[in-house]
Structure 1
Amino acid sequence: MASVSENTTGNTVETGIVQEDFSVIMAQAFATYGLSVVTDRALPDARDGLKPVQRRILAGMREARYFSSRPTVKSAEVVGLILGNYHPHGDTSVYEAAARMAQPFTMRYPLIEGQGNMGSEDGDAPAAYRYTEMRLSPLAEALMADMERETVPLHPTYKQDPKVVEPDYLPGRIPPIVNPSSGIAVGLSTNIPPHNLGEVIRACIALLDRPDMTVDELMGFIQGPDFSQGGHIVGVDGIRDYFTTGKGRIIVRAEVRLEETPRRRALVVTQIPPTGRDKVKASIIKAFNAHKLDGLMPDLRDESDTEKGTRIVLELRKDADAAHTLEQLYRETDLQIALSFQMVFLFGSPLQAARQPKQVGLLELLNYWNAHQLDLLTRRAGYDLRKARERLHIVEGLMIGAEHAEEIVKIFQQADDRASARRTIEERYQLSEIQSDVIASMTLAQVTKMDSGKYRREHGDLQTRIEELERLLSNRRALITLLKKEMQQLVRQFGDERRTIIDVEGSVEKPITRVASLYEREPLTIAFTRSGALKTLAQDTFRPKEKNGELIYTPVRGDEQLREVIATTSQDYLLCMASSGRVFQIASHRIPLATRSAKGEPIQSLLELNPEEEIVAIVPIDAYDEDRYLVTFSRLGKVKKSPLSEYKTIDVDGAQDMKLADGDSIVTAVLSHGQGEYFVTTDYAQTLRFSDEALRAQGRVGQGVAAISLTHGGVVVSASYYDINTTTSIDVETGEVIQDMVSVLVATEAGTLKKVPVSQYPQKGRATVGVVTTELVDSDRVLFTMLINEHDYLLLTWKGANGEKGEHSLPLKASEVIAFPRVKRGVQVVNGRILSAAKLG
């Protein structure tokens, strides 16, 4: 209220001063300030995952057309643009935000492509903005796709220029959790981890059909955080917590390998938790100086670079136990850290700025984002429909104009001015003002060249487009189908492999018993014998020798034991499938080196096999790609296809893979790229060829589905994968790519052998009978089939008839095996029983 005082004459005078309680003013001012920090600075929008400063930078760069297809521009130019038009704050905040969006070690998927020194994992700050350059990344352009089609609301910036506007939120075609975000507001904070784009979008596609799925079902799509630095997450309880409530705590470990040479041993850090390398190194030095790392030498070398990535070398003492020292490192340094997540986003209604902060779990968040994407598609389709109708209206006027072009020219010539000509055209031909304006704006030359046929074709195309858009807007299912299609395109364009491995059954309390070795990549040849042993051999062991101008392969003692020859590298892993349906994994460099005639290392000493288990297939793995699968076939005709990514954490202890019915067992396992075909053969000479598309992927632990329909009490004896992309070779003389001659090699127990072109096997549906693959005589049965190329070398192992002791090896060139029609019997190649065949390459 106004203050009242008394003057010298005794009269009261109003002073105009209003008195207020200071605590009330402070409360009101702080509430305004707090709301501003929450909504306009610290928290990301749930629709695009961006804070206001990030959104302004990206939108401003888009408006200035700093696209990925154009040269980079000075960062100073970007900062000046954003400050001048969008962000009324300091230049430091703008440049730091832009630089972070360009750092691949900060953002899982960078939104800006930087050039120059944009900072490093070692804690180095970016160079000054006068030295660096930047432009939008293709992902940022996808994030802002369709903004020009009135999909998001715009409002004037602080500049109050009607031509300068900014969006309340971006279309956000990329889910808001693929990149990390953190911020501290007033009374609120957020810390959002990054996730794999492919996993998240596949989950969103599934949620479109099943928005009420459980958290455990969601975890079948999204494994957990996927940090740009990689690392290992120990356990899944914390992941499940923040998936459910938006709040959780996880443990992340560095990837540490043991490097051994004849002169030294060292622990090599190849991936770190989501913290700077400088902090990791400082924590190791601090722990060493505190005498908490008794197994290390006083020597820490950072050999990291842009090509090799992270490589921190820690020398071990001569008598140190590597596993114990690694436990100390995890316990005492930042090679193991705990991360707490609190997923707080701002929410808002369509076409309104987000104002409601809320902590959410992943299910609620992704369902909200899906609804936002459907709203975007609806608005985009509505915009396209309006524009199509407007153009249709104009084209209809142009069609009338084209039909009366000569008369319109005369009207122009006789009119006093263009305005009167327009009015005359509008009245005479019953056109709208818009239609007459378009014609009146033409020159006489343009009017005379008007093509009625062209306008009729455009008219038909527009009517078709309008009908399509009307159907789309009236059918929610059609909108969802379109959204799925566009999401799948994003996965194909921007999806990549997961970097962070999640140890589902891991625990920080579980002692470390061994440290995986680190070796340089070099080619290996590994032999798997019929007695169940593995051995690494010299590279040219099975290479045919040239004699008199001809390549000759000469078997030696021990070759009759060959079951399979595996070409791999020292950095690869071997997935070993057991007859029981369990799967094991071992590093290829752990297979001991042996001579050709040596028996090798029994596989029971390398893997934790049960007495009744037998390894039936070994598959070399060089990368756990999302688009590659392990496909397992059983004796009773079942098949299971599982993504390779689900086998990352398998070790020599083994894990359950395919669940088998009583009396069933695993026959083989093959590696699939998801776009080939399978050939499945039974002992009763039925071979079925079916497409990979007919076999849906499922989780690692499952019963599978029917692969082939068995007849006559037969059982599956072999299965092969046919990939057309790997059956080509280069002609040495011409350099041309030629299609290899691929055939099916058919062997029977009675010693017959033949090859049949794959073209003689028609593709049929999965779970059908197939076709006859050879003629069987008496009690003969098919032993196996395999796919071969003409340049392959084969080594057949066989045993003589009539009780003859010993086994024999028979080398064969695939080109020398006689070809027969599918329904005919092969030729007798040995006088006895074929035991196995190994492809030597």
Structure 2
Amino acid sequence: MARMSDRSVEQGTIREEDFAVLLARAFATYGLSVVTDRALPDARDGLKPVQRRILTGMHEAGYRSDRPTVKSAEVVGLILGNYHPHGDASVYEAAVRLAQPFTMRYPLIEGQGNMGSEDGDAPAAYRYTEMRLSPLAEALMADLECETVPLHPTYKQDPKVLEPDYLPGRLPPVINPSSGIAVGLATNIPPHNLAEVLRACIALLDQPEMSVEQLMSIIQGPDFPQGGRVIGLDGIRDYFTTGKGRIVIRAEVRLEETPRSRSLVIVQIPPVGRDRVKVSIAEAINAGRVEGLLPDVRDESDAEKGTRIVLDLRKDADPARVLTQLYQETDLQVSLSFQMVFLFGEPMQPARQPRQVGMLELLNYWNAHQVDVLTRRAQFQLRKARERLHVLEGLIIGAANAQEIVRLFQQAEDRAEARRAIEERYKLTAAQSEVIAGMTLSQVTRLDAQKYAREREELLTRVAELEHLLSDRRALVTLLKKEMQQLIRRFGDARRTVIDAQARVDEPVREVLPLYERTPLTLVLTRAATVKTLPPGAYGSRSTERYGPVRGDEQLRQILAGYSQDAVLCVASSGRVFQLPAFRLPQATRSARGEPLARLLALNPDEEPVALFTLEAHEEDRYLVTFSRQGKVKKSPLSEYRTVDEEGLQDMKLAEGDAVAVALVVRAGGEYLVSSESGQTLRFADESLRVQGRAGQGVMAMTLAAGSRLVSACYLGQPQELPAEEARQSEQADSVAASTAALLVLSEQGYAKRVPVEDLPLRGRATAGVSSLTLVPGDHLLTTLLVQPTDQLLFIWRPEGASKGEQTLVLYAQEIPLLGRTGAAQRLVEGRLLAAVLLPRTLDS
């Protein structure tokens, strides 16, 4: 065996090497492969090879943003078969990551199906999900077909399957995060705001040597998909300067207060995942490192609301102190280290040189790459334009000699001979004659010389523009700036992460901001028992036509003015009372129907909302007064309702067959005007109504005729007791100064009049009152409203026969006749009156 080995050595078939040298060389080859072909992104497009192969393969296969999604299994199979000779899991995981909006600041793939979650849930298998390129990915690969980047065969060694060494990369390489561990190198690149980075690149084209401070005035810092708040500027300045730095980022936490509880609500988290945040909070509470919180950590996050993790505070807890502990003891505050390591290379060469770079050096390099891409695109377009111009000149000659060319075709034995004859006769080049020879005889006879001449003039202009662009760098840079501005307009969005330059990590939290700022709003309750909020003044100055069909925004029952921090009290027909914060009501437009109140409150199917009230506070000197259809009334202090919530509590105890008809929020000392459907109205003093607890049967308010029922009640406040805050509630409390008030009386058949309040005598409670409206047979009193002459009202009615559907009528109160109590009412509409709503004059005031 030894002699055979010696002969083999002599014959050169066996080579002896030192194992240590061989291992070092092999490991160096392996390390270089990991660095250049796997772990580090290219500084020109910000992508790793597997990401670039996925996007290129989807682009070539036509899986574009304007086409339907395809099964992820099809994408994985395509990339494995043509581009990436590795496992299917590695390809699918990389593609899913490009589609996750909580991982990528700007996703490059649009995914459909379960693509994983922020809570650490794994994506569904690739046979279930679908995907396609996002518009951003298409922008990243724009001009790929214009020979702007080098292409090489893939491992498949098919001349038709090529992959780029890098992409044109029309988007900066730092808008999305990237991390990787190579041999002896690691990278961790934070995401940034696209609009900020592009504006910085535009500025660097004019001033490449700007300072880091100037750059930080344009790019504020990292911008994570989850938001959060970066504390201080030192870490940002470090990695902008050297490519390496460390920042501290906190969650955004707000204080939410309801009548029964106070909670800290986490609305944005650091880029560590909701599951890790929740586990760290639970561990800190259980270990006693955080005091003042109830042990329940409720995750109410969803796709619509985003992150919402609720931590309930104990009654005596200080929110600021608790939040300080949470930042110190949990992952609501984390430190992140960045190391911006990219691969660099010469134009039209693969990137092979890893280097840690600061933001200025990186963006200047990317700008130079973009200038190179535009230059090569212009060269490609110029060559194609000249080639087409050359062909057009031949077509123009062909159009001028079409009949002779047809004759040459007919005389020739084949097309090759015809082509040679055309070349010789008209001195055409091979390219020109080839185009004409490839036409049918009918196409030759239809050659349009004028059309080709116009196209030739356009191409000559285009050629001149491209030649100027290639000869003048300033023109090229101007074009680059213009295209960057277009990308900002198309894809730019608002910053999500707040950069708090003044904050310090070691300072305690001094104040927890409310979850919702105290902003004015308009609350609308519809006849279909839906509710919505609108901006203030939505109904302040109406431009509604005097007559018109009922639209979605005119299914009105009640309009309230309020603030987002108010409590909304709801009284139901069953006598139950509910309450929820105003900020939980859905925001909508005037044309939207809103959300059913039954989804927000625990209303039973047989319950209807009677009235809503917006309350800034549950004051001791204000009262909830409820009237039942059988003529009962109950008056209870608002302070009794502080702890009521969405589940509701029984308030007024009703007899069998009875229901709440009217509810008012009042101050003590005024008067009530209560009306029955038979047209009787009773005016009695508030002082005759004793105060009861929350749960009570009430007392008799009005004696009703047989078969009649109470349908309306208004509160007549005392002028001296109408401060500014009471004026805000005037619409919902029907509180009007007696000196200028009139009672608007409306019947179901459309009769109406205004009755001066002084015409209605003050009587004792539990009496029948006096007649305020004489009714025709079959008619009933619909409702009453206390109005001023300048008040505007919206009436909803159905014409006789109902062929036209429901209609609206808008009037000022002064347009309705002011008559005595015994005066005959006038008919407003020829049909059935369904509702009347007092439109506020200035809700935003």
Give TM-score, length-normalised by structure 2: 0.62
Do structure 1's residue 253 and structure 2's residue 250 form an aligned pair?
yes
Alignment of 1:202-281 (within 5 A): 202-281=199-278
Q: In structure 1, what residue type is equivalent to 2:223?
A: D
- Compared with structure 1, are the counterparts of its residues 112 and 450 closer, same or farther at alpha carbon in structure 2 (3 Å cutoff)? same
Q: CA deviation at 1:84?
A: 0.2
Structure 1: state its 5+ residue gaps.
Answer: 526-537, 550-566, 573-587, 596-790, 794-812, 814-837
Deviations 1:334-368 (A, max 9, x none): 00000000000000011011000000000000000
Do structure 1's residue 327 and structure 2's residue 289 form an aligned pair?
no
Equivalent in 81, 98, 103 of residue 101 of structure 1: 98
Equivalent in 430, 443, 446 of residue 446 of structure 1: 443
Deviations 1:592-633 (A, max 9, x none): 9699xxxxxxxxxxxxxxxxxxxxxxxxxxxxxxxxxxxxxx
Q: CA deviation at 1:544?
A: 8.7
Do structure 1's residue 502 and structure 2's residue 502 form an aligned pair?
no
Is the 8 Å Cα contact of residues 116 and 122 (structure 2) preserved in structure 1?
yes
Do structure 1's residue 427 and structure 2's residue 405 form an aligned pair?
no
Alignment of 1:634-713 (within 5 A): none
Do structure 1's residue 406 and structure 2's residue 424 form an aligned pair?
no
Do structure 1's residue 174 and structure 2's residue 156 form an aligned pair?
no
Distance 1:135 1:298 in 2: 43
2:46 partner SS = coil
Distance 2:139 2:381 in 1: 19
2:342 partner SS = strand
Is the 8 Å Cα contact of residues 3 and 17 (structure 1) preserved in structure 2?
no
Alignment of 1:50-129 (within 5 A): 50-129=47-126
Structure 2 match to 1:711: none
- Compared with structure 1, are the counterparts of its residues 41 and 569 closer, same or farther at alpha carbon in structure 2 (3 Å cutoff)? farther
Deviations 1:393-435 (A, max 9, x none): 0000111111111111111111111111111110111111111
Structure 1 match to 2:156: 159
Deviations 1:768-824 (A, max 9, x none): xxxxxxxxxxxxxxxxxxxxxxx9x9xxxxxxxxxxxxxxxxxxx9xxxxxxxxxxx
Distance 1:3 1:352 in 2: 49
Structure 2 match to 1:375: 372
Structure 2 match to 1:141: 138
Distance 2:299 2:109 in 1: 28
Distance 2:424 2:539 in 1: 91
Q: CA deviation at 1:18?
A: 3.0
1:222 partner SS = coil
Q: CA deviation at 1:287?
A: 1.3
1:468 partner SS = helix
Is the 8 Å Cα contact of residues 179 and 195 (structure 1) preserved in structure 2?
yes
Is the 8 Å Cα contact of residues 542 and 840 (structure 1) preserved in structure 2?
no
Distance 1:305 1:166 in 2: 39
2:247 partner SS = strand
Is the 8 Å Cα contact of residues 536 and 844 (structure 2) preserved in structure 1?
no
Is the 8 Å Cα contact of residues 9 and 15 (structure 2) preserved in structure 1?
no
Is the 8 Å Cα contact of residues 80 and 88 (structure 2) preserved in structure 1?
yes
Do structure 1's residue 302 and structure 2's residue 290 form an aligned pair?
no
Comparing 456-465 and 30-39, the one that deviates more: 456-465
Is the 8 Å Cα contact of residues 150 and 383 (structure 1) preserved in structure 2?
yes
1:198 partner SS = helix
Is the 8 Å Cα contact of residues 4 and 13 (structure 1) preserved in structure 2?
no
Is the 8 Å Cα contact of residues 521 and 844 (structure 2) preserved in structure 1?
no
Q: In structure 2, what residue type is equivalent to 1:516?
A: L
- Compared with structure 1, are the counterparts of its residues 14 and 430 closer, same or farther at alpha carbon in structure 2 (3 Å cutoff)? closer
Distance 2:357 2:210 in 1: 16
Structure 2: state its 5+ residue gaps.
Answer: 523-534, 547-560, 567-581, 584-614, 619-789, 793-811, 813-841
Equivalent in 36, 41, 53 of residue 38 of structure 2: 41
Distance 1:541 1:151 in 2: 54
Q: CA deviation at 1:522?
A: 6.2
Q: CA deviation at 1:17?
A: 3.8
Q: CA deviation at 1:262?
A: 2.2
Deviations 1:237-274 (A, max 9, x none): 10000000000000000001111122111111010000
Distance 1:45 1:568 in 2: 55
Equivalent in 299, 310, 314 of residue 311 of structure 2: 314
- Compared with structure 1, are the counterparts of its residues 137 and 545 closer, same or farther at alpha carbon in structure 2 (3 Å cutoff)? closer
Q: In structure 2, what residue type is equivalent to 1:435?
A: Q
Alignment of 1:799-838 (within 5 A): none
Distance 2:120 2:176 in 1: 20
Is the 8 Å Cα contact of residues 3 and 14 (structure 1) preserved in structure 2?
no
Comparing 129-138 and 288-297, the one that deviates more: 288-297
Is the 8 Å Cα contact of residues 537 and 843 (structure 2) preserved in structure 1?
no
Deviations 1:214-234 (A, max 9, x none): 000001110000000000000
- Compared with structure 1, are the counterparts of its residues 545 and 89 closer, same or farther at alpha carbon in structure 2 (3 Å cutoff)? closer
Comparing 80-89 and 253-262, the one that deviates more: 253-262
Distance 1:500 1:175 in 2: 19
Query: What is the aligned residue count?
Result: 555
Equivalent in 177, 182, 185 of residue 185 of structure 1: 182
What is the CA RMSD across the aligned residues, in angstroms?
3.3
Is the 8 Å Cα contact of residues 3 and 16 (structure 1) preserved in structure 2?
no
2:63 partner SS = coil
- Compared with structure 1, are the counterparts of its residues 362 and 568 closer, same or farther at alpha carbon in structure 2 (3 Å cutoff)? farther
- Compared with structure 1, are the counterparts of its residues 13 and 36 closer, same or farther at alpha carbon in structure 2 (3 Å cutoff)? closer
Distance 1:180 1:191 in 2: 8
Equivalent in 463, 467, 478 of residue 464 of structure 2: 467
Distance 1:440 1:18 in 2: 62
Q: CA deviation at 1:322?
A: 1.0
Larger Rg: 2
1:420 partner SS = helix
Equivalent in 352, 357, 366 of residue 355 of structure 1: 352
Distance 2:66 2:3 in 1: 70
Q: CA deviation at 1:545?
A: 12
Structure 2 match to 1:643: none
Deviations 1:460-497 (A, max 9, x none): 11111100100011010000110011000000000000
- Compared with structure 1, are the counterparts of its residues 428 and 570 closer, same or farther at alpha carbon in structure 2 (3 Å cutoff)? same
Do structure 1's residue 366 and structure 2's residue 363 form an aligned pair?
yes
- Compared with structure 1, are the counterparts of its residues 231 and 458 closer, same or farther at alpha carbon in structure 2 (3 Å cutoff)? same
Distance 2:431 2:542 in 1: 84
